[in-house]
Amino acid sequence: MLDLNKLINFYYVWWKNIDKFIFFLIVLLFFTGLFFSLVSTSLVASDKLNTNDYSFFFKHFIFILLGVFIIFFLSSIDKETLLKFSVIFFLVSLIFLILVPFIGVEVKGSKRWIDLNFLPRFQPIELVKPFLIIFISIILSSQKYTNIYIKYLLTFFTTLVIALLLAVQPDIGQTLLIFFSWSILIFTSGINIFFLIILFLFLIFAFLYLIFFVEKFEYIKNRLTSFFDSEKGTHNFQSDKAIDSITSGGFFGKGIGEGTLKNRVPEAHTDYIISVISEEFGVIAIILILLLFLIFIYSVFKKVYLENVERNKLVLVGCISLILVQAMIHIGVNIRLFPTTGMTLPFISYGGSSIVSTFLGLGLVESVHMRRHERSN
């Protein structure tokens, strides 16, 4: 029989030990995204997919509730259980990623999703990312391998395998995201800069070979050509519309429901949410959102300086780098700083897999704080 007093005490200890300021920022950012989902994109997205009014809003809300539970779960279990859980889940999610080309669901020319019928459709890479951070952090901080270059190569080839699986889907945005996050992690671990340059030169040559000599990846070359010369190709259509919307919204926006971008691009509620918000609420809304992002990122990086355990430090850096780089890619595409690629904005965009992925990373951040708090007591 459940002991109510023990349960209350468990919740009390958990609430006492978590970083309440970061938790508050997490909730505030996600409910900011939920607000914009309600007033700006939910009805249009539901109409495009012939679903009930506000169905996207309610799904968004359910995924946020699930995410809060994920934070609670990950920050409550002990360190050894968390590490075992993370490695096992990384391997399971990696298997799903490998299966995507064979059993995946194709949507708009890309095969990135798996539909198991008894679960909502999901993107395996979103589950891989946070646990890849744990996996890389374990290897880089391991005492088993004394040669640091063996550690770098192990993490590099693991990341490379995932990148190739993503390129086949194709999903260049996620490919760039995991390589940037890996680079930040090995840089944090103290890599020799010349070794890092050699690895990047290898990646550049491999990338050029793929886009020029492998027919399957010719679309990347076409997209890059269109990006640098807008008269060649139509890949800039959505980004051009996004910039027009940001410009027309001005500093204070057109007003709730007055934007037109959400009707003109197919993924306004995910890949172009920042432009939709800017058009209806103005640049001032974007500045406030970015300010919340910066406060959150600064709060986590403060923990990096306070953390003495190498593995925990790498986990913190890796989790925050996923959010930071993903946000930069999303905003860069929206203002045509980068070529068009599908990428949600963490906290703000709709997307079940993306929301769960972000919460998994945030749960790891809170877990590191809990473990450090326990060591200090």
Domain range enclosing 41:
37-191+236-376
Confidence band (pLDDT; 50, 70, 90) for 372? low
- pLDDT-derived band at 288, boundaries 50, 70, 90: very high
Quote the pLDDT of residue 271: 78
324: nearest Cα among 298, 353, 359: 298
Q: What is the pLDDT of residues 165-219, one digit of tens each?
A: 888 777 888 888 898 888 888 888 877 777 778 877 887 887 777 777 776 666 6
Q: Is residue 143 domain-resident?
A: yes
Establish if 50 belongs to a structural domain.
Answer: yes
Secondary structure of residue 184 in the 3-state scheme:
helix
Domain membership of residue 338 (yes or no) is yes
Q: Is residue 62 part of a domain?
A: yes
pLDDT tens across 327-365, in order?
Answer: 988 888 888 777 777 788 888 888 778 888 999 988 888
Residue range 15-38: average pLDDT?
86
Q: pTM of this prediction? A: 0.84
Instruction: State the alpha helices, DSSP H only, in the chain.
Output: 4-17, 20-36, 42-48, 55-76, 79-103, 124-141, 148-168, 172-188, 193-213, 218-228, 237-249, 261-264, 273-281, 283-306, 310-334, 352-376
In a domain, 32, yes or no: no
Domain assignment present for residue 218? The answer is no
Kindly report which listed range (49-53, 155-159, 237-241, 335-339) carries the lowest average pLDDT score: 49-53
Report the number of distinct structural domains present in the chain.
Answer: 1
Question: Looking at the domain assignment, is residue 362 inside a domain?
Answer: yes
In a domain, 278, yes or no: yes
